[in-house]
Structure 1
């Protein structure tokens, strides 16, 4: 596997973990503060398009965009793995 493939693979993995951490931080009473803002700045370009498409069809109180973003990143990670082998 080439260096670019390994970097892309780990980038998608790190982004998935950042989304998970940010999602768990929404359960904190303080909201996370500046650290949450940094994580939100990183993940918002990924989650925002998914959220805008989802709100056209659903209007529930639960935001599933982090879960869909993680699934999309997993799919892209597997595609990158197959392309760069």
Structure 2
């Protein structure tokens, strides 16, 4: 049972690292035709796009200075941590 939690945790950690790579590489002038950049976008965009849409509808981020920055990776990190804690709590119930 613990190995299942470790596998889920490893997948979540790998996704976090992919998010970090995308965020850091967005600061550099890299061509959009790069296959690695396309792969990063293909992996992360299904998660970041709905978050970005929710943030754009928010009154806090709409028509303010904050709308110039993309906070979707930060929200994604917070959601991953929530998922990790929920999964850990579920596994603690079954283990103990």
**TM tier, shorter chain?**
0.7 to 0.9
- Extract unaligned runs of 5+ from structure 2: none
Aligned residues of 1:25 and 1:31 also touching (Cα < 8 A)? no
Aligned to 1:28: 28
TM-score (ref. length: structure 2): 0.79
Residue of structure 1 aligned with 2:82, choices 49, 65, 75: 75
Relative contact order higher in (CA < 8 Å, ≥ 6 apart): 1
* Count of residues in correspondence between the two structures: 85
User: Distance in 2 between the 1:80 and 1:17 partners?
Assistant: 19
TM-score (ref. length: structure 1): 0.88
Tell me the SS of whatever aligns to 1:84. helix
Residue 45 in 1 paired to residue 52 in 2?
A: no
In angstroms, what is the RMSD of aligned CA positions?
1.5
4+ residue runs over 4 A deviation: none
1:17 deviates by 1.1
Bigger Rg, structure 1 or 2: 2
User: Distance in 2 between the 1:16 and 1:62 partners?
Assistant: 19
Aligned residues of 1:9 and 1:81 also touching (Cα < 8 A)? no
User: Distance in 1 between the 2:41 and 2:81 partners?
Assistant: 19
- Extract unaligned runs of 5+ from structure 1: none
